[in-house]
Amino acid sequence: EVQLVQSGAEVKKPGESLRIACETSGYSFISYWITWVRQMPGKGLEWMGRIDPSDSKPNYSPSFQGHVTISVDKSINTAYLQWSSLRAPDTAIYYCARINSYRVIDYWGQGTLVTVSS
Amino acid sequence: DIQMTQSPSSVSASVGDRVTITCRASQDLNYWLGWYQQKPGKAPKLLIYAASRLQSGVPSRFSGSGSGAEYTLTISSLQPEDFATYYCQEANNFPLITFGQGTRLEI
């Protein structure tokens, strides 16, 4: 069974750093791209970027380039989304997900709520 | 960047109704188009891929059609569990991806 299990909710202050995780199982980790999607409170889905676990090369949406870092650890089949300096507008649910060869997301994590507040 | 315009932004319907949601892109998507359903507090669920292919396990009342820059999701006979928010997603310029703004389907 394919599973993407994300790390738990976080509460941070502006300026703090954060890394959230997405642990995958049930499939060949290096065979599918991993993507991250943001959903701000009451809003729609925003694509942030994706990474090819086979070569660890990320691609970012222009809207998120330079503000987040996407990475993987192939040894433990886990992907990460990282901020070096959080801002209040980063408050959102973040989903990790698997992209298949049809370029659609066929499996999603349960989401990680990140709250940034002073 | 590809711009996606999803319409309507919200729609009210009744059980048994037929509902159509449209996504228009700023360029030809070459059928690289998917549709998702999201219920409150849940992750989205893939319904349609490659514009018209039904994802495994999705009821046949859901269908996708279209070509070029315009695509449609149709629910042929609404069921109570279908009231949710629906999103289109394009990937013609993969690895870049764009979601539509969403359509809220209400009773």
Asked if the Cβ–Cβ distance from B43 to A108 is below 8 Å, we say: yes
Is the pLDDT score of B92 beyond 90? yes
Residue B107: per-residue pLDDT: 84
State pLDDT tens for residues A81-117.
Answer: 999 999 999 999 999 999 999 999 999 999 999 999 9
Q: Over chain A, what is the mean pLDDT?
A: 97
Asked if the Cβ–Cβ distance from B55 to A33 is below 8 Å, we say: no
Q: What does the alpha-carbon distance between residue A60 and residue A35 come to, in Å, rounded to a whole number?
A: 10
Q: Over chain B, what is the mean pLDDT?
A: 97
> Which chain A residues contact residue B87 at CB under 8 A?
44-45
Residue B22: per-residue pLDDT: 98
Residue B85's beta-bridge partner residues?
B38, B104
* A-B C-beta contacts closer than 8 Å: 63
Strands of the sheet containing B70-75, edge to edge, are: B4-7, B19-25, B70-75, B62-67
